[in-house]
Amino acid sequence: MPLKPWSGRFTQATDKLVEEFNASISFDKRLFRHDIMGSIAHARMLAKMGVIGKKEADKVVSGLKAIEKEIDAGKFQFTHALEDIHMAIEKRLMEKIGPVGGKLHTARSRNDQVALDVRLYLRDEIKEMQNLIKNLQKTLTDIAKKNLDCIMPGYTHLQRAQPVLFSHHLLAYYEMFKRDYERLADCFKRVNVMPLGAGALAGSPYPLDRDFMAKELGFSKPTDNSLDSVSDRDFCIEFCAAASILMMHLSRFSEELILWSSQEFSFIELSDAFSTGSSIMPQKKNPDVPELVRGKTGRVYGNLTALLTVMKGLPLAYNKDMQEDKEALFDSIDTVKDCLKVFSPMLAVMKVNKDNMREAAQGGFLTATDAADYLVKKGIPFRECHHIIGRAVAYCIKTSQGLEDLSIDEWKGFSKAFDKDIKKTISVEASVNSRKTKGGTALETVKKRLGEIEREIR
Ligand code: ARG
């Protein structure tokens, strides 16, 4: 048996440089389990359709199962000479069960085989990633519940804007991760179609039961065009796009954690177990974990760009360029999973400095809008109210006090419409709790949303 299954028409050995340059085995070996799973289904289908004998199929199947055990046990030799995981396993099969192993590749090409393997593999990874997202959402919900009535300044332009509940702020991330989960579920639908039977590109002259294969392997249906089946990598790109958006969310969250843990904010403190020190400055405690998550977002975006660029301008159907899909895809999978895995436990043990948040919400005239709204209720047009309160703020800045420190006489100096009840209207608590519109930050509204969320993530 020659080393390379395709060597029949060649008179020269492959150059060593080419052998290494061409090989994908160093990274596609992670597909071994799914390659074997696909091959077992293919062999069974071939036997069912009478293309190979039942006994032959049995031999192939038990040979493949034995190879899976060898790989699991670390006893399998992966060499560049065998190019990729598909050829490596086929070669080993023939070593183990003899020439009958050569029947497995009937009615199949590596082109439809690799498309199948990546789809099988990615399906599992998407499910795992969705579980990790759910986990993170649960952690967020727990922290929100524990700190339900904690008030913090809400920001626009990173300037204090209006007071909000910390729980409301956290649940904004819940909503982002919910969309990430849904995007993956949507991507899954297009991953979950079965390409085998496309052959190299044109379909197969054998009587293949593609529906049986799809069912055996848990796919929703076989693909509809053989050329598309072997040249489509949209599903990898879609996954990388969903992964990029998810990383963008984690990166924004990381940025906030980094800011919040600075001495300037002191809203939270990351646990020692999730921080690192400086090799020179003894006092330092650095938020390396969220910084790295923020940084790793770059490589996940890069992988998306790489895939889009690899696929751009490729003629139909398969081209070797497409072997370049794997490292980008695998790297995005690994990176996102690593980030999600560390994020939940880091959040779960971080300390929330409620008092500092509450104090920060007190300064900065955060309830100025509420004071303007107070005058609106007295019938004054909003633009005019805005101006009146603006003057009051300017006065407070000049006299170094907060709106809440103004006496009723001072208020009346700005507008006769002010009454004693302005005091309680502009309290931070009143401001938060007045925002009862669906999706607003009022305590009762956030509580209601938390109730819905608990049903969503059950
Ligand atoms: N290692 C190849 C890849 O990842 C498998 C498909 C090879 N097909 C071919 N016609 N050379 O794309």
Task: Assess whether 150 and 286 both reside in one domain.
Answer: yes
CATH code for the domain of 93: 1.10.275.10
Any idea which residue has 């919400």 for tokens?
Answer: 361
What one-character-per-residue DSSP string does 113-137 give?
Answer: HHHHHHHHHHHHHHHHHHHHHHHHH
Q: Is the dihedral of CA 211, 217, 220, 223 positive or negative?
A: negative
- State if residue 117 touches ligand 1 by the CB under 6 angstroms criterion: no
Among 62, 220, 271, 278, the one annotated catalytic: 278
Q: Is the per-residue pLDDT at 1 higher than 60? A: no
pLDDT digits (tens, 9 = 90+) for 422-445: 999 999 999 999 999 999 999 999
Query: How many distinct helices (H) and strands (E) make up the chain?
Result: 19, 6
Q: Which domain holds residue 437?
A: 363-448
Task: Report which of 384, 427, 432, 387 is spatially closest to residue 403, judged by C-alpha positions.
Answer: 427
Q: How far is the CA of 109 from the centre of ligand 1 (A)?
A: 9
Lowest mean pLDDT among 283-287, 309-313, 365-369, 370-374: 283-287
Q: Is position 453 within any domain?
A: no
For 72, counting Cβ atoms within 10 Å of its Cβ (0-12 exposed, 13-18 middle, 19+ buried), the class is: exposed
Of 78, 106, 134, which marks where a domain is finished? 106
Q: Is the per-residue pLDDT at 326 higher than 70? A: yes
pLDDT digits (tens, 9 = 90+) for 268-296: 999 999 999 888 888 888 999 999 999 99
Q: Is position 454 within any domain?
A: no
pLDDT at 319: 98
**What is the average per-residue pLDDT within 294-316?**
98
pLDDT digits (tens, 9 = 90+) for 21-58: 999 999 999 999 999 999 999 999 999 999 999 999 99
278 is catalytic: yes
Among 24, 109, 157, 262, the one annotated catalytic: 157
pLDDT at 34: 98
Q: How far apart are CA 39 and CA 62, in angstroms?
A: 11
CATH code for the domain of 382: 1.10.40.30
Predicted TM-score of the model (pTM): 0.95
> Which residue has a Cα nearest atom 4 of ligand 1?
323
pLDDT digits (tens, 9 = 90+) for 75-99: 999 988 889 999 999 999 999 999 9
Q: Is position 2 within any domain?
A: no
Task: Assess whether 148 and 40 both reside in one domain.
Answer: no
3-state SS, residue 163: strand
Task: Assess whether 102 and 233 both reside in one domain.
Answer: no
Q: Which long-range contacts (CB under 8 A, 24 or more apart) does 315-319 make?
A: 316/201, 316/227, 316/228, 316/231, 317/111, 317/200, 317/201, 317/226, 317/227, 317/228, 317/230, 317/231, 318/111, 318/200, 318/201, 318/230, 318/231, 319/231
Q: Is the per-residue pLDDT at 69 higher than 90? A: yes
Q: Is the dihedral of CA 441, 442, 446, 449 positive or negative?
A: negative
- State if residue 322 touches ligand 1 by the CB under 6 angstroms criterion: yes
User: Which of 32, 320, 325 most suits a substitution to test ligand 1, by most atoms within 8 Å of the C-beta?
Assistant: 320
Q: Which two tokens stand for residue 61?
A: 């199947």
Number of domains in the chain: 3
Of 106, 127, 159, which marks where a domain is finished? 106
